[in-house]
Amino acid sequence: MNNEKRREIFHRLREANPEPTTELAWSSPFELLVAVALSAQSTDVGVNKATTRLFPVANTPEAIVNLGLDGVKEYIKTLGLYNNKAKNLVAMCELLQRDHAGEVPRTREGLEALPGVGRKTANVILNTAFGEPTIAVDTHIFRVSNRTNLAPGKNVDQVEQKLLKVVPRDYKRDAHHWLILHGRYTCVARKPRCGSCVIEDLCEYKDKGELT
């Protein structure tokens, strides 16, 4: 795929959705960090249901620590892996209090040092909370990048590095959200909804399906 075609892809995605953002509910960098940490193997809808109960009670590191492990579990027990998530969340909040004065670090190194936070989560925080031009590659973005031939790669790291290289600079900050939403609602896993796709003629997928 050439750069002209890539630029047109992002131009159309921007035209269709000028201000894309996460579907997780949050009102502070800390709330976003918690929501993303809870989202592993869970849907955004499921996470939002849990945090709608949790955040009115505890939406700061101090409040989470005071709530305690068993208290946190009560609010997130509807989520997969909730025991491990609760353990990581309390440990993360203790570290935020101890090393960062209760504030979410604005560096990749600081974020990735937190319990339960890997590269993908760090990328989401840097991008969505702090406006950095990072691209967090999840299963949706991995699929869209390979299926369209936008930024093919054998693993998420390869796709991330390719996207950082080929996405035009003026589209880079929002590329993560455009691609994830495109993969979630249009370029879906089982059968892509090509008939309703705004980039169908630019996509290099050889087995284009029809809208179902």
The question of whether 138 is a catalytic residue gets the answer yes
Q: Which candidate in 85, 120, 162, 172 is catalytic?
A: 120
203 is in an annotated binding site: yes
87 is catalytic: no
d(CA 5, CA 72): 47
> Rounded to an integer, what distance in angstroms lies between the CA atom of residue 70 and that of residue 86?
8
Contact between 199 and 161 under an 8 Å Cβ cutoff? The reply is no
Q: Any binding-site annotation on 93? A: no
Which residue among the candidates 5, 49, 138, 208 is catalytic per the annotation? Answer: 138
Nearest alpha-carbon partner for 200 in 182, 181, 177: 182
Identify each DSSP E strand in the chain by its residue range. none
Q: Which residues are catalytic?
A: 120, 138
List, as residue ranges, the binding site. 187, 194, 197, 203
List, as residue ranges, the binding site for [4Fe-4S] cluster. 187, 194, 197, 203
